Amino acid sequence: MNVNFLGFSCNNGYTNMALDEAMLRDVISIEKKSTFVRFYTWSPRCISLGKNQKDIDLSGFDIDVVRRITGGRALLHDNELTYSIAAPIEKGESVLESYKNVSDAIILGMKELGIELEYAGKKTENAQYCMNISCGADISYKGKKLVGSAQFRSQGYFLQHGSILFDADFDFIEKLFGQKVERHSIATIKEINDKISIHDLVKALEFGFYEKFRNKAIV
């Protein structure tokens, strides 16, 4: 399968979500089976809400808010790298299976940086903040969740995007979402290796996504 990288960019929340949706539409419109991947950051910092998530009371906070077409819970996009991928769904492939394919790509990429990741071992659900939740196919570092992701499907294709924390202001996040953050269960790149840059991470992840999806047979 062709794997196409759209380059790194930094945009506001509305533009980032619009670009992801446009990427999915473009992949659907192409007759040949292809995968498109992009990496980006957010400026200004922004909260994204899941498609079916209730609005959050953010009165008193001067912060952008957008709604994703994917599900999941709210995320604060600040000092992190977001990946997104639009790809065809293999015949009979479940949401969890395609989710795991993306997780495998990230695990492959992180190995290039000397970081060994694994699937999260437990499932949790009752939380507003995405990083407080694990679906069992999320990626963890030594038992701590590192990546929060969500998926949307349309016409035999999926869009998945996710956030990889470089660092986190947990005090601010707790104020935003009005609930305690399970800090001991969340990992950041700074905690793992503070010498890794955005450029390093993008390059490694491009390798992982290419290796995982280039030989994927789609029926």
The answer to whether residue 97 is domain-embedded is yes
The answer to whether residue 22 is domain-embedded is yes
User: Could you confirm whether 130 is annotated as catalytic?
Assistant: yes
pLDDT greater than 60 at residue 139: yes
- pLDDT bracket for residue 183 (50, 70, 90): confident
In contact, 108 and 49? CB cutoff 8 Å: no
The answer to whether residue 218 is domain-embedded is no
21 half-sphere exposure, CB direction, 13 A CA radius: 11
The answer to whether residue 99 is domain-embedded is yes
Amino acid 135: pLDDT? 59
What is the extent of the structural domain holding 143?
2-213
Split into its structural domains, the chain has a count of 1
Supply 137's token pair.
């196919």
pLDDT greater than 60 at residue 132: no
pLDDT greater than 80 at residue 123: no
Q: With 0.85 as the threshold, say if the pTM is over it.
A: yes
Q: Provide, rounded to the nearest whole percent, the portion of the chain with pLDDT above 90.
A: 71
The DSSP string of 94-117 is: -HHHHHHHHHHHHHHHHHTTT---
Amino acid 76: pLDDT? 94
Out of 10, 46, 130, 135, which one is annotated catalytic? 130
The answer to whether residue 219 is domain-embedded is no
- pLDDT bracket for residue 5 (50, 70, 90): very high
The answer to whether residue 122 is domain-embedded is yes
Q: Provide, rounded to the nearest whole percent, the portion of the chain with pLDDT above 70.
A: 90
In contact, 70 and 50? CB cutoff 8 Å: yes
Average pLDDT of every residue of the chain: 90
CATH number at residue 191: 3.30.930.10
